[in-house]
Structure 1
């Protein structure tokens, strides 16, 4: 019995010591620090400066534990100056989170589509259509859409934007 209590306490200690999810304040600080770091740098140096800020801040929390609302917060706080850096940085995180079941996975899949990593127009259109399709096939997306009007409007606007590239078109039934 003591052996099991030892292992249980060791596991709880490890969990307690592991990095926590970031707070909204930490993410806003990250955006402020990153924007300051890249300000007045040449284009080629900005990516490295952004990555240095991210690496320094990553010691304080586990970015893999970011919530869907915090993804939106990052893009709002980062603005245009950090948009492409945030997209690149969050793309693998959102890809991983979008594979989760339930509402969390559906929301991650929505934000993955919304903030798709962009390159050239043709590649962007194909990638957006692929991510849109993945988002719509998530089993929990219906609950997300019915519970959030803003997301529902984004998804409906997205249908018009990617409809021609999906290889299907919506069918409206009338009675």
Structure 2
């Protein structure tokens, strides 16, 4: 770039019409032997990091500079500049939001198994009713279910046979 001032933006620009963010119409760069200086006190980012405005400090070379949505890299005349993606702008608000989401996910990952485990551990155990062989024979006799035959398999019983009505058979 030639030495001197360079205006970028939508009004009276020197190179190209560039729509800007933050309600800006233009910003001014000063090209000197010592480097390129930003003369407009605007918010800007270097490699995605917010950078405070300092009029006496040159903009860095070889890094992505984002001024109101106009992104560029400053380099020497004898070097080829690499093509770089524009990095996402860092903001404390976005960083807090990401940390809150991460903390919520971690908290849920810890709390959910604990809640399920405590529910299972503390829930009352359902005990199956106990019965003896005598109880089964007595029940069959009281309900006049003489055609039903119990077959025992250890503590379990299987009932075979026929009855007139299933409502007469209580389990």
TM over 0.5: no
Normalising by structure 2, we get a TM-score of 0.21
More strand by share: 2
Normalising by structure 1, we get a TM-score of 0.20
Higher Cα radius of gyration: 2
Which structure is higher in RCO with an 8 Å CA cutoff and minimum separation 6? 1
More helix by share: 1
